[in-house]
Amino acid sequence: MRHKKAGPSGTVDAPLETKSQRTAVRDAIPSVVGGRLRTYDPAADNVGAFLRLLGERITRPLAVSLTACVHCGLCAESCHYFLARPDDPTMTPVYKADQIRRVFKRHLDWTGRVVPWWVHAGSPRSDEDLNRLKNIVFGTCSACRRCTLNCPMGVDTGLLVRFTRGLLTELGIVPEGVFNVSRDEWETGNQMAVTEEEYLETLQWMKEEVQAELDRPDVDIPVDRADCNVLYTINPREIKFDPRSIANAAKVFHVAGETWTLPKWGWDQTNFGLYSGDDKLGGYVARNVYEAAERLRAKRIVISECGHGYRSTRWEGYNWAGYDQKLPTESVVVTLMRYLQEGRIRVDPSRNPEPVTFHDSCNIARSGDLVEEPRWILGRVCADFREMHPNRRENFCCTGGGGLLSMAEYRPLRLEVAKVKAEQLRATGAKLVCTMCHNCIDGLTDVIKHYRLDMKVVQVLDLVAKALVIS
Amino acid sequence: MSATLKFLENEVQIAALLFMAVVYAVRLVWILRFEFRRERTFPAGSEAAGIGFSLMNVAMPWAMESTRKRPWFYLQFVIFHLGVAAAITATFIIPYKPALLETKPVALAFQTMMGAAFLVGLMRLVRRLREPALRLISTADDYLSLALMILFFAAGVLAVPNRYRTAEWTLILFFGLTAFFLVYVPFSKICHYLYYPFTRYFLGKTLGHRGALPPGKTAADRPLPEGSGTRRPR
């Protein structure tokens, strides 16, 4: 087995790359000119701005998570970074959270303001310190929240990491990949800069595919149709790399007799604001979806299989956007379960004979509510379902969470710590690992390739579509 | 009983307690001044159930992998905190209900709890010094707080027999430490119990609202056919 080592502690020291930022400034793109997308200015007082933002943005849940930690260290063994690198004390969640906690203590808490050395309180002194903080919160944590659920005090380290990312994003001190994806979301309304033409063409192509497959010319993939039951929102990855998942959804909706539509604008349910900590971006992208549903008078928003997309659109987005939820908003997995329960679709599990295991997406299982629903479905569409251990809310991250797939500079460390996931996958003996997250597909595919596992990644919808009995 | 001990057991303790109460009150106001944003989504679970589960987490070692896999660590936690409870109770019993401690089994029970906590405290100190990951994050406050607790337990074991005629120094040490604690605690990590209800409340509220806590809900519990997230806000 080949293992590319990430190097000893302290080598996650990627410099701040600003080439894309400079190009965006030079081209005067609207999001930069309008001040929505922030770029790095080496001449600015970035430390001062960081401290000002810290004081302005701390909420009550953050404040108590910053003050309550007792340094018991119990979180360490819940983190796949520490489990994979037990000799590296900088990999513990508490160490990572302490990097923002020390600044909070120095500037806002009591003891740290008077006797900082007593409680390890301190302040960033330069942009290099902020870049170091960037490498810790973006590069050594996938914000999976496993430590949060294992903290006896209830300290939400995942929340602290996202908060810190948000402060750095406001200063443009972010990995280049994060900047690029954020730029695309601001500029095009979706994170892969899919054009409207490409979007519509792909949908047309998939419509023709399903019509041919089912020999039913009445199958449709409607766009911007008003008064439907379902407004279906997708991940741009489905347009770019995996359009079959849209075809599968179309097939199931057709068989179930659903009235559904995709919106022409506001179709991207993914949200890089969750990863970058930028609530403004998060609110903008989520609002696009909510307003599309309102404009088309849809009765329900259905989110295709995506972990962070589900968390963002179902839970966080309404709060970021300051938009009171008006419509039921659910994962397509819940929709599929309803169809099965109501007898609107029928399935034959013998069509999926290979051993299948299920990987719980962190954003859905730990920060959301769907744990048993995918299992309920898999129990009906697969002949041989096997649990992975640990599972459900204790599952390990695919290692591509927290936006890490877009940050090439942290890839060696990500793949090194993925050995925890690789061992978990291998132990199942399954040939297929099912997940309800597009991000996890890429994360798991990387792990499978790197650790040479004999497995393929699929989604719940893939297995349902394969098992679908069409009369 | 000397006038010094009497003064230490009464006036000094009351003054220190009042000081702690005032600082805690200010601390609570400080926490409450941070913004709290209201939830805008439909619930998929019960906030009350989530908060209840989260707050009771301390008594459910099976609920977290971190404690489930390390039962000895959890037992240490229980012993240590029982010792804390015993020591605090002793600071009230000795001056105000000394007759209780004249019953030997009662005094012995207090001494056993504090003695066991003393040993656990020493083990925790060794762990903190030995493990590199803990050493890296440990502050002077972490070390002093733990060392003071160890000393406090030892002093408690010696003070509980309440032998003010023959060994007054044990009581002076115990009550001197108590007074110091009451003043120091609000500024140290020892006051984590003040934050525990808050952190647990917020986590339980958020994840209870989403149906992630309490865990163990089955798919059959879902309000289908409407599906998740279809209920109106309460």
Is A322 in the same domain as A396? no
- Domain of residue B204, CATH code: 1.20.950.20
Token look-up 């500029």 returns A187
Q: Is residue B221 part of a domain?
A: no
The total of structural domains in chain A comes to: 3
What pLDDT digit, counting tens, does each position of A336-388 carry?
999 999 999 999 999 999 999 999 999 999 999 899 999 999 999 999 999 99
Which residues of chain A lie closer than 8 angstroms to B222, CB-CB? 334, 337, 372-373
Q: What type of residue sits at position B161?
A: P
- Look at residue B218 in the predicted model and tell me its pLDDT: 60
Mutate: best of B54, B183, B222, B232, partner A, most A CBs <10 A: B222
CA distance A221 to A242: 16
Residue A413 lies in domain:
346-467
Q: Is residue A2 part of a domain?
A: no
- Look at residue B165 in the predicted model and tell me its pLDDT: 85
Q: Is residue B229 part of a domain?
A: no
CA distance B17 to B178: 10
- B11: exposed, middle or buried (C-beta count within 10 Å: 0-12, 13-18, 19+)? exposed
The pTM score is 0.94
Q: Is residue B42 part of a domain?
A: no
- Look at residue A4 in the predicted model and tell me its pLDDT: 41
What pLDDT digit, counting tens, does each position of A251-267 carry?
999 999 999 999 999 99
Nearest CA in chain B to A158: B203
Q: Is the pLDDT of residue A412 over 70?
A: yes
Q: Is the pLDDT of residue B221 over 80?
A: no
What pLDDT digit, counting tens, does each position of A276-292 carry?
999 999 999 999 999 99
Is A119 in the same domain as A199? no
Q: Is residue B105 part of a domain?
A: yes
Is A444 in the same domain as A356? yes
Q: Is residue A39 part of a domain?
A: no
In angstroms, the separation between the Cα of residue A148 and the nearest Cα of chain B is 9
- Domain of residue A165, CATH code: 1.10.1060
Q: Is residue B19 part of a domain?
A: yes
Token look-up 């839970």 returns A315
CA distance A195 to A30: 17
Contact B199 A318 (CB under 8 A): no
Q: Is the pLDDT of residue B222 over 60?
A: no
CA distance A288 to A262: 13
Which residues of chain A lie closer than 8 angstroms to B200, CB-CB? 153-154
Write out the E strands in A144-299: 230-233, 260-261
ipTM given for this complex: 0.94
Q: Is residue A32 part of a domain?
A: no
Is A330 in the same domain as A359? no
Q: Is there a contact between B79 and B72 (Cβ–Cβ < 8 Å)?
A: no
Contact B202 A77 (CB under 8 A): no
Q: Is residue B222 part of a domain?
A: no
More confident residue, A12 or A195: A195
In angstroms, the separation between the Cα of residue B117 and the nearest Cα of chain A is 16
Contact A319 B192 (CB under 8 A): no
Is A128 in the same domain as A202? no
Is A106 in the same domain as A168? yes
Is A383 in the same domain as A368? yes
What is the rounded average pLDDT for all residues in chain B? 91
